[in-house]
Amino acid sequence: MSVVLQALIDIRDLLHGNLIFGVGALLLAGFAGGKLASRFKLPTISGYIVAGLVLGPSILNVVPDHIVESLAPIPHIALGLIAITIGSEFRISKLRKTGRNILIITIFQLMITFGTVAGALCLFDAPLPMALLLGAIASATAPAATVAIASELRARGPLVSTLFGVVALDDAFAITLFGFVMAFAAAMVGTSNAGPMAMLLHPLREILFSVALGTVMGYVIHRLVVDRKRSNEIIVIVLGFVLFTSGIAISLHISPLIANMMLGFLIINLSPKNSRIMRILEPLAPPIYAAFFALAGTELDIRTLMATGALGIVYLLARAIGKYGGTYVGAVVAQDSPVTRKYLGLALLPQAGVAIGLILVLQDTAAFAHLPYMGTMVNIVLASILVNEVLGPPLTKFALEASGSTRSARGRASREVTR
């Protein structure tokens, strides 16, 4: 046994810096992890994430930090495709029926999550600026996991449409809320050089420019593909523009997620023909999702759990209560269905990219960079991402299955009606 173990260690050391080996290891480990997760009736992306965690620097270090950094384009490709998928759910015909409910639910769950987390942290003696900033970050969700699980389960129906709408609006609203809270917190700590108005305008400008970029790119794609017949040409054009849009957004320091959501919204509403784009892109999803979520797993660090203390647990529990309770209250106010009230909040727990982006903004802002509790804030957010990215997907799967939104659930319902 020891000989075999030593041989495996020698192989790992030999291939430690090999980028191609790293990609292959992530894909194959992700595949194996996904199959294992399926045996336990968990979403395959849970297997991808755990496989990446095991291979990453936190445990086996088969895929070290410099390999993870070299694979940075993969998340942008995956998130671009995910954003288009979300945007394509915003058909104007659907929005006329559900747009009001989506807006009400999004606002209620966002503000209740913010208030619950900030209030709970204050009760446990966290400084007020810290509590407010973490409350704003807690309001953000991770659309990637939601879309991947819905695609895997072939989930359809009112709950899924509402879910996609909420996760799309949530990140835009979370960025805006964070800008307001950041300006208020900067005034409280008294070290801001930018001024409150500049901090307030920054997120609004980011969202406006992101929407404008997505609108332009969506129109260009529409003109290029609307009359095109060959699927291979459409894949090249759309994928190229997804990367092009993401690259421009990153360079301009605006949101590639919002830009690509707007791109998807525009192309799906400009012509009924464009609905085929989503069907044509489907074969690309499995390998890209496997690589993306396995890569996300490598960036999780179990040591952050030990560094958060009681405040980390308070943040996790308060965020879960805020998301579920806020969604429930919003659905009641919007007079949405009992199914939405009961299950939608369970699908909103995953948290990743936007939350990381917001905590990095804090670290890079002079007003907050030298606060004595900045390290604690970073650890709390990273620990929350670790827990919610592992536990969130199974809860999302449960919500979609229990609500009858999945293909298997629809099949069972159809057979019961037939009987």
Q: Are 353 and 137 in contact (CB under 8 A)?
A: no
Mean pLDDT, the chain, integer:
81
Identify the pLDDT of residue 190: 63
| Confidence (pLDDT) at 320 | 94
Question: What confidence score (pLDDT) does residue 403 get?
Answer: 85
pLDDT, tens digit (0-9, with 9 covering 90-100), for 72-96 = 777 778 878 888 887 887 788 777 7
Question: How much of the chain exceeds pLDDT 70, in percent?
Answer: 87
Question: Among 311-320, 344-353, 403-412, which stretch is predicted with the lowest mean pLDDT?
Answer: 403-412
Share of the chain above pLDDT 90, in %: 17
Rounded to whole angstroms, the Cα distance separating 268 from 249 reads 21
Mean of pLDDT values over 168-196: 74
Predicted model pTM: 0.77
User: In the predicted model, is pLDDT for residue 106 greater than 80?
Assistant: yes
Q: How far is the CA of 199 from the CAs of 185, 204, 212, 259, 363, in angstroms?
A: 11, 9, 21, 21, 15
The pLDDT confidence band at residue 38, using thresholds 50, 70 and 90, is confident
Q: What is the mean pLDDT of residues 189-200?
A: 59
pLDDT score of 11? 52
Which amino acid appears at position 17 of this protein? Answer: G
Confidence band, pLDDT 50/70/90 cuts, at residue 7: low
Within 10 Å of residue 154's Cβ, how many Cβ atoms?
13
Per-residue pLDDT at 172 exceeds 50: yes
235 against 386, higher pLDDT: 235
Residue-wise pLDDT tens digits, 116-135: 999 999 998 888 888 999 99
- What pLDDT score was predicted for residue 342? 92
Mean pLDDT along residues 316-338: 93
Residue 122 vs residue 355, higher pLDDT? 122
Give the pLDDT score at 415: 46
Instruction: Calculate ∠ Cα 91-350-88, nearest 5°.
Output: 15
Q: pLDDT value at position 75?
A: 78
Query: Which H, E and C letters describe the chain, residue by residue?
Result: CHHHHHHHHHHHHHCCCCHHHHHHHHHHHHHHHHHHHHHCCCCHHHHHHHHHHHHCCCCCCCCCHHHHHHCCHHHHHHHHHHHHHHHHCCCHHHHHHHHHHHHHHHHHHHHHHHHHHHHHHHHCCCCHHHHHHHHHHHCCCCHHHHHHHHHHCCCCCHHHHHHHHHHHHHHHHHHHHHHHHHHHHHHHHCCCCCCHHHHHHHHHHHHHHHHHHHHHHHHHHHHHHCCCCCHHHHHHHHHHHHHHHHHHHHHCCCCHHHHHHHHHHHHHHHCHHHHHHHHHHHHHHHHHHHHHHHHHHHCCCCHHHHHHHHHHHHHHHHHHHHHHHHHHHHHHHCCCCHHHHHHHHHHHCCCCHHHHHHHHHHHHCHHHHCCCCHHHHHHHHHHHHHHHHHHHHHHHHHHHHHCCCCHHHHHHHHHHHHC
> Is 418 a residue whose pLDDT tops 50?
no
Q: How confident is the model at residue 97 (pLDDT cuts 50, 70, 90)?
A: confident
Give yes or no for a contact between 242 and 284, defined as CB atoms under 8 angstroms apart: no
